[in-house]
Amino acid sequence: MKWIFNIFIKAILFTQLYVYIFIAFIFKKLLPPKKNKSGILFLAAFFEGNAGFHWRVKKWSEILTENSYEVEINTVFDKEDFYHNLKNNHALFLIKFLNRRFWQVIKSRNYEVVIVRRELLLFNDYGNLFLEKLLLHFNPDAILDIDDDLSAAKEQPKKITNKFAKLLLEDGDKFNNSLKLYKRFIVASTYLKEKIQSINLNSRSENICIVPTCVDYDKYEQKKYIKPLNEVTFGWVGSNNNYVMLDLLLPLFEKLFHNYKFKLIIIGGDYYDRKTTFPKEFIKWSLKNEIEHLKKIDIGLMPLIHDNESKGKAGFKLIQYMGLGIVSVASAITINNEIISDNVDSFLCASTEEWEKVFISIIEGKYDLTVKGDLARKKISENYTFNSNKKNYINFIEYVRNSRNFVE
């Protein structure tokens, strides 16, 4: 009976998609962009409590509110509903997400500034961007906020071969094609800005604002290093999807454990179940206890695979570690090279041999971690906090508002 239910759900998804495409077509014909608008609307991809939601939506909405802007955040699901729907039936998840997001887009015509976080339809590449086109009809200056290269994460561009996917108008290069539609962007790195300019040939530099994923750790006491450090605690924080990055270091840790004592802390979502001979501790990530858990780490880790997905990352792990004065070791790739001054405030490694050399030197106490930690904290405080980026962010919002008003 389950297969009958799945066919039924897919039939609903198919019908719903085409009904909304038709309604969107009618609205575009009958509803012009509204002239008298007010306020800022965030269309968030994830739920409250998600790290991306907290650092790139909620915190900025609070800062904007403090500066006399009217701000509203629209999510689709809360955390419990999100995982419940996603786990039970993927097609049903898409149906519910599309239904709620569609009417949020209709409502968006009442707002002066609309900021889309990541993408309008999460995990849904169907419909040939019809919802983005409707949003941009109502709000031609809508801002797309991204901190990752989603095309690499989705392995796009890709050829669509599934017949049902073709019927649902799946876009095999959705993210890159969406970059061609928007004209205003907030991005987390120079790499993402350059990517947009290489794809959207009409984009102008002033329409792309670089705002890193910021922290407010300057209000917390920084990491205190004990001298001498008898046992180094290496640490990594991240989502389940990125455990494969941490896996890169396991053979090296196994090798070093023959001669050195150390510990590894993993702060993540699902349990990190890799078997190791060296001691490790898993801590379930939570926003509430994040600072307390991060400060257990002596050396923050950010290994990356040298591929396009890694090149598009925002380096947020480093910003978190170093923002608390935690010395870090990271792959020498794109934004990591911008955040770290090698062997000054943290370390960059381009090969396994370099990782090994740095780890051994740290374990043997050859570096003053207090000095490097102080410099790391200073680097983040000056460049990657909300206070240091507030003026840039608000100025861009004002630029978009004034440009819209000028056009009208």
Burial class (CB in 10 A: 0-12, 13-18, 19+), 250: middle
The reply to whether 217-384 shares the fold of 34-214+387-407 is: yes
The pLDDT tens digits of the residues spanning 196-209 come to 999 999 999 999 99
Phi and psi at residue 347, in whole multiples of 5°?
A: -135, 140
CB 223 within 8 A of CB 325: yes
Confidence band for 405, pLDDT divided at 50, 70 and 90: low
Runs of H (alpha helix) within 257-351: 290-294, 308-311, 316-323, 334-339
CATH code linked to domain 217-384: 3.40.50.2000
Q: What is the pTM of this model?
A: 0.93
Q: How far apart are the first and last CA of the chain?
A: 56
Question: pLDDT by residue (tens digit) across 229-239?
Answer: 889 999 999 99
Look at 35-44, 83-92, 97-106, 229-238 and tell me which has the smallest mean pLDDT. Answer: 83-92
- pLDDT at position 309: 86
Q: What CATH architecture applies to the domain 34-214+387-407?
A: 3-Layer(aba) Sandwich (3.40)
The torsion angle over the Cα atoms of residues 189, 195, 197 and 202, rounded to 10 degrees, is -120
Dihedrals φ, ψ of 129, to 5°?
A: 60, 25
How many residues would you count in the chain? 408
- Give the domain ranges of the chain: 34-214+387-407, 217-384
Backbone conformation region of residue 53, classed left if phi is above 0, alpha if psi is from -120 to 50, else beta: alpha
Q: What's residue 219's pLDDT?
A: 87
State the chain's mean pLDDT as an integer.
95
Residue 406 has pLDDT above 60, yes or no: no
Side-chain half-sphere of 321: how many Cα atoms within 13 Å?
A: 29
- The pLDDT, as a whole number, for residue 229 is 87
Mapped to the 3 state alphabet, what secondary structure does 193-252 carry?
Answer: HHHHHHHCCCCCHHHEEECCCCECHHHCCCCCCCCCCCCEEEEEECCHHHHHHHHCCHHH
Indicate the pLDDT class of residue 341, thresholds 50, 70 and 90: very high
> Taking each helix axis from N to C terminus, what angle separates 2-30 and 90-107, rounded to the nearest 10 degrees?
20
What pLDDT shows up at residue 384? 97
Helix and strand numbers (H, E) in the chain are 19, 12
CB 149 within 8 A of CB 309: yes
Nearest to 313 by CA among 147, 146, 117, 152: 147
How far are the Cα atoms of 68, 233, 236, 252, 272 from residue 264, in angstroms, in the given order?
A: 45, 6, 8, 12, 11
Compute CA 348 distance to the chain's CA centroid, rounded to the nearest angstrom: 22
Q: What is the per-residue pLDDT for 408?
A: 43
- Judged against a pLDDT cut of 90, whether residue 404 lies above it is answered with no
